[in-house]
Structure 1
Amino acid sequence: MDRKHFRSLIPPTPTQVLSKPDLITFFIKDAFSLPTLLSVGALLQSLLILVLPIRVALLPLTILSTYTILTTAIASANPHTNDYMQDIHLGRTSAQLPNPQTGKFGNVPADQAIVVFHFGVRFSHPLGIFSPGAQKTISHFTKCNDLVLAKASAYGLLGLSPWRAAERGSNNTLMMVYYFRNVEGLNKFAHDPIHRQAWEWIQREGGKHVGFFHEAFVAPRGGYESIYVNLQPLLMGAARVECVVTGGDDGGDGEGQGEETRGKSWVATLVSADTPSLRSQFGRMGREVAKKSGG
C-alpha cells in the first residue's frame, strides 16, 4: 500500500511570509540586568512619591499590578483568552521541504538538503548596546537582516528566527538562525556589498568588546529531522519554500488533479507528524524508508 503524501498544515501564499523580527526590541530586552531594572523602577516610584500626593503616586503601580493579575487570572481560567496559545498546532508536527518544481511534498522524509546558518553578536562591555561601536554594529546587523529578507527569493532564504542565549544576567549572545535552500544562495548573501561592508567595518572598528560569529551547516538529504509538539511554527517549521504550484494542488499532498501550472507560490514546511514514516527519529530522517526499499 502506498504511503500517504505529506500535506502542509498552513495554506500557501503568493508571496514569502516571514515574520520580520523587531531587532531594536530584540537588542534592548537583553541590555539591562534584573537589578538594574528594579533599581530604575524603584527610582521612578520614589520620584513620584516625592512630587505627588501618596495616593496619586501609587496609582500607576496599582493600576499596572491589578491589570497584570486580572489578565493572568482570566487567561488561566479561560483558555480562549490565552494569547499564548495563538497559532499553536496541537499534536505532533514536523518540518518537511516540498518539491520547488511542483509544490508537492511526496512521502519520503528529509528528501532534500538544507543549509542552516547562525549569525550573531555579543557585547562584552558593562554598557552593552550603549558601549563604543555597539550602535554601529547593530545598524550593520540590521542592514544585513533586511538585505536577506529583501532578496529571499534570490538567496533561497526559507526562514529565519531570532534567539538569545542565557549565559549571564544581561548582554547575552544574540543570534539569528537562517535556513537556506543551498550553500550557493548563502554564498551570494556573503558576497553582497552590504554584508561585506559590515564584515570589514566590524573587524576594523568594532572593538575588542564586540564579538561576532557565524556558523554554517549543510545538512544533506536524509541528514536531519525535526519534531514539534503543541507549538506554533518556529525554526525550520516556520519556513516557506518558493514553488511552482501545479494543477489543483493547495500545498502539496501530490494528489492534485491535473498538472496545469498555476504559477509560483510559497509553501509552508510544517506538516502533521501523525503518520508512520514520521513517528521515529530515523523515520523522520528517511532512513527507515531507504531500509524498506533496499537502498
Structure 2
Amino acid sequence: MGAKPIRGRITAAAEQDVVVFLIGIRINRLRSVRRWWPVSTAMPRMLAELAADRDSGLLGHRMRLGPPRTVELVQYWESPQKLLAYAADRDGLHRPAWAAFNRLVRESRGEVGIWHETYVVPAGSYETVYVDMPLHGLAAATAPVPVAHRGESAAERLGRRRAS
C-alpha cells in the first residue's frame, strides 16, 4: 500500500550543498533484450553497493518509470567529488558496468539509450516542502524537519529573507 504520510508540513533537513544526479535508460527496441537487460540489472546492484558503504556519499535515491520504455533514477549526493569518485572507482561495480555498456553500444544499432544529468546545488539555492506526504525526495534522502525549522515561506527556505 505504501508508506504512511507524515501529517502537516515538513521540509528537508539538508542545509549543505547537494548534488542531484539523474540517470535513465530507454529501451528503444523491446526485442533486443540482450542489449538492455544488462544495463537494467546493473543499476540495482550499484545502488546496493552504495547503500552498503555509508561513506559513499549517496544520500538517497528514488527510481521511477518515465515516458514509455524509460526508467529514471533520481539520486542525491553529498558532493560532486564523491559522485565522481564512485564513477571512477576501479574496485566498484560502476566501472565494469560502464565498460560493458560501451561495448554493447558499439555493437548495437540504437537498441538502448542511456542518459544522465548532474546538478550541483549550493546550500541556500534549493527549498523543499511536503504536506501530508510520506517521506519523499530530499527529505527522504536526508531527514524531515518541521517547515518552521527552515522558514514558513519558500523565500525564507531559499534564504532570501530571514525567518522570524
- With normalisation by structure 2, the TM-score equals 0.86
Deviation at 1:122, TM superposition (A): 1.1
Give the residue type in structure 2 aligned to 1:219.
V
Aligned to 2:158: 285
**In angstroms, what is the RMSD of aligned CA positions?**
2.1
Higher relative contact order (CA 8 A, sep 6+): 2
- Identical amino acids, percent of aligned pairs: 28
Distance 2:153 2:30 in 1: 46
* Consecutive unaligned residues in structure 1, runs of 5 or more: 1-82, 98-110, 241-268
Runs of 4+ deviating beyond 3 Å:
none
Alpha-carbon spacing, 1:233–1:203, altered in 2? closer, same or farther (3 Å): same
The residue aligned with 1:175 is 72
Q: Name the residue aligned to 1:234.
A: 136
**Stretches of structure 2 lacking an aligned partner (at least 5 in a row):** none
- Could you list the per-position Cα deviations for residues 38-73 of structure 1 after superposition, in whole angstroms to 9, with x for gaps in the alignment? xxxxxxxxxxxxxxxxxxxxxxxxxxxxxxxxxxxx
Give the conservation status (yes or no) of the 8 Å contact 1:278–1:284.
yes
Aligned length: 159
In 2, are the aligned partners of 1:277 and 1:288 still within 8 Å (CA)? no
Shift of 1:175: 1.3
Question: Displacement of 1:113 after TM fit?
Answer: 0.8
Give 1:1-295 correspondences, 5 Å limit: 83=1, 86-97=3-14, 111-127=15-31, 131-151=33-53, 153-165=54-66, 167-168=67-68, 171=69, 173-193=70-90, 194-206=93-105, 207=108, 208-240=110-142, 269-273=143-147, 275=148, 277-289=150-162
Higher strand share: 2
Letter in 2 for 1:200: A
Given that 2:35 and 2:111 are in contact with CA atoms closer than 8 Å, whether structure 1 keeps it comes out as no
Closer, same or farther: CA 271–131 of 1 in aligned 2, 3 Å: same
How far does residue 277 in structure 1 lie from its aligned partner after superposition?
A: 4.9
Scaled by the length of structure 1, what TM-score is found?
A: 0.50
Question: How far apart, in 2, do the equivalents of 1:210 and 1:150 lie?
Answer: 29
- Decide which structure has the larger Cα Rg and report it: 1
Give me the whole-angstrom Cα distance separating, in 1, the residues matched to 2:45 and 2:131.
Answer: 34
1:277·1:289 contact (CA, 8 Å) conserved in 2? no
**Structure 2 counterpart of 1:125, one-letter code:** R
Q: From the two aligned structures, give the one with the greater helix fraction.
A: 1
